[in-house]
Amino acid sequence: MNSNDELQVILDIGIALAAEKNRNKLFDMIITRSMEITNCDAGTLYRYKDNKLEFRVMKTLSMNVSKGENGEEIDLPPAEMREENICAYSAIHRESLNIANVREDTRFDFSGPKKYDEITGYHTESMMVIPLIDDEDEVVGVLQLINALDKDGKVTQFDPVQERVIYALGCLTAIALSNMRYQQELKDQMWSFTEAMAAAIDERTPYNASHTRKVAKYSGMLADYINELHEKGEEEEYFSENRKEQLVMGAFLHDIGKLAVPLEVMNKATRLNGHEKDIEKRLEIYKLKAKVLMLEGKKSEEDYKQFESNVDESIQLMNTVNGAGFLDEDKRAALEKIFEYEFKDQDGVASPFFTEEEKECLRIVKGTLTAEERKIMESHVEITERILSKVHFNKYFLNSPVYAAQHHECLNGKGYPKGITADQLSVDSRIMAVADICDALLATDRPYKKPIPKEKAFDIMRDMAKAGNIDGKLVEYLYACLE
């Protein structure tokens, strides 16, 4: 092999190494190509980790042995970093070694290969060991090649010229592995940030303890289900590993804006949020004052009895309405009646039973939040977008903040915060919206509502789909996932 041939081989394999994104395939590629170039019978690739050399891939052509090529563990103890071990020596001293015959060499301890030969019937003779050194001068592993073969298939010494080629390929492999490690570290860093933010949201309020993770779980389930349908030819969409990760990360981050929402809004379990006790005390005091007026002859007994009845009626209705999920027209009319009730002192100064703020809370038709409180609650989406805009998402997670900020948008443009429509909402954003609503309906830990059975929850979601709010197809997909 002349220098031009060497360069071409290095370039070709270097390009292939750079293009490979799977660590296990990269390991297998370097050992396979190195064995082809040197025409050798066996090879072992070690990964340097925790000051030891771990077996990653083992191949022996003559014995039809191939282990670790798909990432499976090799049941052999790692090699210790002792200088008498040839692979450890190569790593420690960053030196290539070319041994013509291990049985005649006294420099290193070859008892391990010899013992292996006794067990398997193999015959180890020539050996070449190459350290894998990356661009930061760090050893990431060692490549061990065994029994170079001549054109007649007889064992011979490894060609020193080929040693130079394999060393160059080893360095390219090491750089590729380091790049993979850096990419994985960046991903791990993003996921650790995501987990930390999700934990902060979940810890802030008791009812949110599992919501974030449920939305992420349902989103991932939908992506997997769509892939199953795609494989059957029943769905055009397909979620690559990267696309699914972006979706799931977005789901983990979708409620990060709730960190800025006041807890009295976040945790508002009833319309009056505990203030009903204060109102009861106020009305009981009014009742006592009215009784005093009666005893002093300033109020008739009949008027007092009516006033007492008004107080009892108001307290009973207030407590009924306070914890109700939905107010029908009859209850709303009854409320307006008690809102007219008041206490007049001896000078004729009137004090209403309820303040304007309390009336507003009790008038809430559905849920527990007033119009102003709902605006505060809905602002969490805009806050989510602002927070995530300060975070650098590399191209691998570029769409995650987009999905997170769109989980309350509707296909018909009636969602928030931007009121965007179906043509602007990706399948991914639609998935997150469906997952979010599903958990909100099925949740058993919300203080302001009772849990809804699955069938009823999906009936509600189907109605939402008919109204043009969410994607009906995805609703049915999630229903199938949860069966």
Q: Let me know whether 48 and 127 are in one domain.
A: yes
Q: Let me know whether 37 and 84 are in one domain.
A: yes
**H or E segment to which residue 139 belongs:** strand 139-149
Count Cβ atoms below 10 Å from residue 278 Cβ, excluding itself: 11
Q: Let me know whether 340 and 432 are in one domain.
A: no
Indicate the number of domains in the chain.
3
Answer yes or no: is pLDDT of 167 > 70.
yes
* Stretch 259-269: mean pLDDT: 88
Amino acid found at 371:
A
Does 193 fall in a domain?
no
Cα–Cα distance for residue pair 375/33, rounded to 1 Å: 63
Cα–Cα distance for residue pair 335/282, rounded to 1 Å: 18
Q: What is the DSSP string of 371-434?
A: HHHHHHHHHHHHHHHHHHHTS---GGGTTHHHHHHTTT--TTS--SSS---GGG--HHHHHHHH
Q: Let me know whether 55 and 168 are in one domain.
A: yes
β partners of residue 52: 49, 80
* Stretch 23-31: mean pLDDT: 78
Please state, in angstroms and as integers, the Cα–Cα distance from residue 245 to each residue in 38, 94, 248, following that order. Answer: 41, 38, 5
Please state, in angstroms and as integers, the Cα–Cα distance from residue 306 to each residue in 290, 313, 338, 346, following that order. Answer: 11, 10, 13, 17
Closest CA to 474 of 275, 128, 219: 219
Cα–Cα distance for residue pair 251/55, rounded to 1 Å: 38
Does 194 fall in a domain?
no
CA 129 to chain centre: 42
Does 467 fall in a domain?
yes
Most confidently modeled range among 6-20, 185-199, 259-273, 355-369 = 355-369
* Stretch 120-131: mean pLDDT: 92
How many residues does this entry show for the chain?
483
- Band (pLDDT 50/70/90 cuts) for residue 169 is confident
The answer to pTM > 0.75 is no
- Kindly report, residue by residue over 215-246, the tens digit of the pLDDT: 999 999 999 999 999 999 999 999 999 999 99
Q: Let me know whether 293 and 255 are in one domain.
A: no
Answer yes or no: is pLDDT of 97 > 50.
yes
Q: What is residue 2's predicted lDDT score, i.e. its pLDDT?
A: 46
Q: Let me know whether 358 and 397 are in one domain.
A: no
Domain final residue, candidates 119, 149, 182: 182
- Average predicted confidence (pLDDT) for the chain: 89
Cα–Cα distance for residue pair 429/407, rounded to 1 Å: 6
Does 117 fall in a domain?
yes
Does 318 fall in a domain?
yes
Backbone CA torsion sign across 444, 449, 451, 454: negative
Task: Output the domain CATH number for residue 171.
Answer: 3.30.450.40
Q: What is residue 414's predicted lDDT score, i.e. its pLDDT?
A: 95
Does 199 fall in a domain?
no
Which position has the higher pLDDT, 10 or 112?
112
240 phi, psi to nearest 5 deg: -70, 170
Q: Let me know whether 257 and 390 are in one domain.
A: yes
Q: Let me know whether 54 and 167 are in one domain.
A: yes
Q: Let me know whether 117 and 242 are in one domain.
A: no
Poorest-pLDDT segment among 228-232, 259-263, 369-373, 444-448: 444-448
Q: What is residue 343's predicted lDDT score, i.e. its pLDDT?
A: 94
| Tokens representing residue 361 in the block | 């809370």
Which position has the higher pLDDT, 161 or 250?
250
Closest CA to 431 of 284, 266, 227, 290: 227
Task: Output the domain CATH number for residue 228.
Answer: 1.10.3210.10
Q: Let me know whether 335 and 222 are in one domain.
A: no
Closest CA to 460 of 440, 483, 481: 440
Cα 27–31–34 angle (5° rounding)? 140
Asked if residue 351 lies in contact with residue 357, where contact means CB atoms within 8 angstroms, the answer is: no
Which position has the higher pLDDT, 210 or 475?
475
- Kindly report, residue by residue over 325-365, the tens digit of the pLDDT: 889 999 999 999 999 999 999 888 999 999 999 999 999 99
Does 191 fall in a domain?
no
User: What domain range is 222 assigned to?
Assistant: 205-266+372-481
Q: What is residue 165's predicted lDDT score, i.e. its pLDDT?
A: 83
* Stretch 283-295: mean pLDDT: 94
Q: Let me know whether 60 and 73 are in one domain.
A: yes
β partners of residue 148: 40, 156
Answer yes or no: is pLDDT of 256 > 80.
yes
Does 196 fall in a domain?
no
Cα–Cα distance for residue pair 8/478, rounded to 1 Å: 52
* Stretch 398-407: mean pLDDT: 96
- Kindly report, residue by residue over 437-471, the tens digit of the pLDDT: 999 898 876 666 677 899 999 999 999 999 999 99
Q: Let me know whether 359 and 382 are in one domain.
A: no
Q: Which residues fall within 8 angstroms of residue 139, CB to CB, at 6 or more apart?
A: 48, 91, 94, 131, 132, 133, 174
Domain final residue, candidates 367, 388, 404: 367
Instruction: Assess whether the previous peptide bond of 417 is cis (omega < 30° from 0).
Output: yes
Domain final residue, candidates 367, 395, 419: 367
- Band (pLDDT 50/70/90 cuts) for residue 418 is very high
Answer yes or no: is pLDDT of 155 > 80.
yes
Asked if residue 39 lies in contact with residue 98, where contact means CB atoms within 8 angstroms, the answer is: no
* Stretch 353-382: mean pLDDT: 94
SS3 per residue for 164-187:
HHHHHHHHHHHHHHHHHHHHHHHH
Please state, in angstroms and as integers, the Cα–Cα distance from residue 48 to each residue in 69, 78, 138, 255, 374, following that order. Answer: 17, 9, 10, 41, 56
